[in-house]
Amino acid sequence: MLTINYLNDSKQEKVLTYDNFEEFELSRFACAINIADYYKVSKVELDGETIDYTGNIGDLYLFLTKRLKTKA
């Protein structure tokens, strides 16, 4: 499971949840994520592990892709 916590323009914390990384990847390619790329990520969990990531939503996909390739 992939859980992404982020802050919107009003600094309210919101949560996106996906069954796995592939579902997140498909939603990015299909432009199904209806939030701004510049929103700040506050927390990321992948398969129960908290990921050390500081950045925005727009850069998260590339970060996770690189991380998963190095783990393989």
CATH of the domain at 8: 3.30.1490.390
Q: Which domain holds residue 31?
A: 2-71
In this prediction, residue 29 carries a pLDDT of 81
Side chain identity, residue 50: T
Separation between Cα atoms, residue 35 and residue 66, nearest integer Å: 22
Separation between Cα atoms, residue 10 and residue 61, nearest integer Å: 23
In this prediction, residue 3 carries a pLDDT of 98
Tally of domains in the chain: 1
In this prediction, residue 68 carries a pLDDT of 86
In this prediction, residue 72 carries a pLDDT of 62
In this prediction, residue 31 carries a pLDDT of 76
Kindly report, residue by residue over 11-69, the tens digit of the pLDDT. 999 999 999 999 998 888 887 778 899 999 999 999 999 999 999 998 999 999 999 88
